[in-house]
Structure 1
Amino acid sequence: MGLRHQGRELALKTLYRIDICGGASSDDLTALFDSFPVEDEARRFAVQLVEGVRREQPALDKHLADALEHWSVKRLSRVDHNVMRIALYELLRMEDIPARVTIDEAIELAKCYGDIESGRFVNGVLDEIAGRLGLKQKGDDVTQSKAE
């Protein structure tokens, strides 16, 4: 399992806890992070994701609301909601991560931590948003140049 995947899992668990328990102090987050043994690089990536998602949460939720058909953000499961928040933050703010990688990782997290339909649902919503924002091809040139 890659370090970024571990970071995404830790970020998901952290954001889920914040949703359940309310705002979290830095001491609470430190204790939570310490309870999951991951390498420092994965932990730094998780912190970057959590801080970014929390900082940009209203805008991320607006993108989600605009993409949901016959559904509302309030009806989303906490897992699916946070998986998509993390992925949207990556799509919008992390230029070095290709869109395909971000969406694939989100699908895997949704399958692992969500319900039986979560993977398909997350894929559909993120694909819709990436299309609307013109981000479907983001990072393809980086991926191609690394393969060459």
Structure 2
Amino acid sequence: MKIFYFSGTGNSYQIAKKISNSFDDNVELIRIKDNDNVGIIKDKIVSIVFPIYYFGLPVLVEEFIREINISEDTYLFIIVTKGVSLGGGVKTQLEKLFEGKKKYNYFQYITMGDNFVLDFWDATNKTERLIRNKKATAKLLK
């Protein structure tokens, strides 16, 4: 099994690591970075984990998905971390990127809390952040 992840703040890495730890098999955690030449992926299970950036996919993730070639026999699941707001265009972007390719079998958003501070948002409310992170973990482990 391979888990490809992109994480700017560490939230998506945290989720990728938890997914990795939930499998008994040998799981390879692979960071998505510039100019990755992945080629054909033939693993039985593959996951792509990434955050929403400005209501869409990060450019590196978009480029990665354009270049990968996943076997039809592979179970592909996508986990997208997000703040409170939903990136409504993400599923549409993914549908376009996967046109003519192996489609993903499962898709899930996980709310991790926002990583930006606005005047009306109290970033110091530790209890609220802990509750949100526990909910995200519980949703992941379903």
TM class by shorter chain equals 0.3 to 0.5
TM-score, normalised with respect to structure 1: 0.34
> Per residue, is there more strand in 1 or in 2?
2
> Per residue, is there more helix in 1 or in 2?
1
TM-score, normalised with respect to structure 2: 0.35
